[in-house]
Amino acid sequence: AQKITQTQPGMFVQEKEAVTLDCTYDTSDPSYGLFWYKQPSSGEMIFLIYQGSYDQQNATEGRYSLNFQKARKSANLVISASQLGDSAMYFCAMREGPNTGNQFYFGTGTSLTVIP
């Protein structure tokens, strides 16, 4: 089974609108962390936001927020007030806890295009 699933290969959003990028995960480890990375055309990976499995509140970082629904095993990224510079590839990732070797898994990514 896929550890991280991103079902949206491509998304479009109007500038200044909000957009949600979906991510579901699969793990039996009670301790895990969820990440979102942005990868612009240059290829670098930019860390955006992190959510720990024991965190009670949803993580927020500026215009980024993570809609963490533990029971559904989903960790959707919400980008508010989209900007043209947000156009990029976005990867959801999960790191499992020490019981399972701290393995790191990435999703296949979602390509976001912001339309002016």
CB 104 within 8 A of CB 94: yes
Residue 27 interacting with other proteins (CB under 8 A): no
Which tokens go with 7? Answer: 């079902």
Among 20-28, 35-43, 57-65, 76-84, the segment contacting other proteins (CB under 8 A): 35-43
How far is the C-alpha of 68 from the C-alpha of 11, rounded, in Å? Answer: 20
Token reading at 44:
């670098």
Smallest distance, other proteins to C-beta of residue 45, A: 4
Tell me if 33 contacts other proteins by CB under 8 A. yes
Q: How many residues does the chain have?
A: 116
Residues in the site for other proteins, rule: CB under 8 A?
33, 35, 37, 42-47, 50, 91, 95, 98, 102, 104, 106-109
